[in-house]
Amino acid sequence: MNVLITTDFSKNARNAVCYALSFFGNVDAQFHILHVENNLEQAPFLEDTSTAASITVENNTATNKLERLKELLIKKKLAVPSKISLHFEQKKFIDVIREKVETLSIDFIAMGTKGASALKQSTVGSHTTDVITRVKCPVFVIPEKATYQPPKSVVFPTDFNSIYQSKVLRTLSHILLLNKAELSVLYVSKKNEELSLQQKKHKRAIRAYLKYLPHNFHFTVNSTLEEALQVFLESHNISIIAMSAKNINLFQHLLFHPELEKISYPERLPFLVLHE
């Protein structure tokens, strides 16, 4: 397994690296830690020698920071040296991610966030959205207050209006098996009404795929999904929120919700975004 972890050397990025290494620590995984800068866009021809010299210094600084980060991870016994590869690139962020996913056969991407309030207006937020929408690879979005504990339960919010391709459910099943976790499929409705025939069909398809894995279905009535999800998380020992990338608008709504005094999960629970 190959895991790509992005870092900008911030506190939340370091937390994401530690979380990812802990999460995949029990499998044979190679961790690729990546730092990307866009200095070449600012000075594409390097005509100014002072600019070129400045970029050289920054390159050396970034390389040193990556090395120090690796030393910290080894010191914390999160991985052995041979399992950590360091990468530094100066290109457009999304182009680098696509290239690494292809050339390194990446199975999962892990990215840190600064919490919903900062994420709404941050470069990290735009990078996260870009990766989720433009790179066909499962993405862990790890908030700054996430603390790793072996996950025992994963929630999968759905409206049963879409049929999920086998790749989405296969990746989700892999995560469940990896951690011996249980899946809670959560359906939220604004009214207490019966599922349509199509929704029932899609629900049966999910149940059939998961028949050999521990899972359960939950139905709740609430005016908003984010409030329903918050209530559900408070009453269940949920470790990860999993969603399909086809529901990107729903993902953004859940993660960027403004009423932070009421909604706390975007700052403490990782999101796993699954691609078809």
**Three-state SS letters, 42-77:** HCCCCCCHHHHHHHHHHHHHHHHHHHHHHHHHHHCC
Say what the pLDDT of residue 55 is: 46
Show me where the domains of the chain are located: 2-142, 153-270
Mean pLDDT by 10 residues, the chain (276 residues): 94 93 92 84 49 53 93 92 94 95 96 61 64 91 89 90 86 91 90 89 92 92 79 87 78 57 70 88
Distance CA 269, CA 223 (A): 22
Exposure class string for 118-152: b at 16+ Cβ within 10 A, else e: ebeeeebbebbbebbeebebbbbbbbbebebeebe
Equal CATH topology for 2-142 and 153-270? yes
pTM above 0.75, yes or no: yes
Domain 153-270 sits in CATH at 3.40.50.620
Say what the pLDDT of residue 45 is: 46
**Amino acid at site 175:** I
Kindly calculate the radius of gyration of the chain based on its CA atoms and give it in whole angstroms. 20
Say what the pLDDT of residue 72 is: 93
Coil vs helix vs strand at 5: strand
Say what the pLDDT of residue 222 is: 80
Say what the pLDDT of residue 96 is: 96
Domain 2-142 sits in CATH at 3.40.50.620
DSSP annotation of 166: H
Say what the pLDDT of residue 256 is: 57
Say what the pLDDT of residue 254 is: 65
Say what the pLDDT of residue 160 is: 87
Longest pairwise C-alpha distance within the chain:
69
**Amino acid at site 61:** T
The DSSP element (H or E) to which 97 belongs, if any, is helix 93-103
Say what the pLDDT of residue 269 is: 86
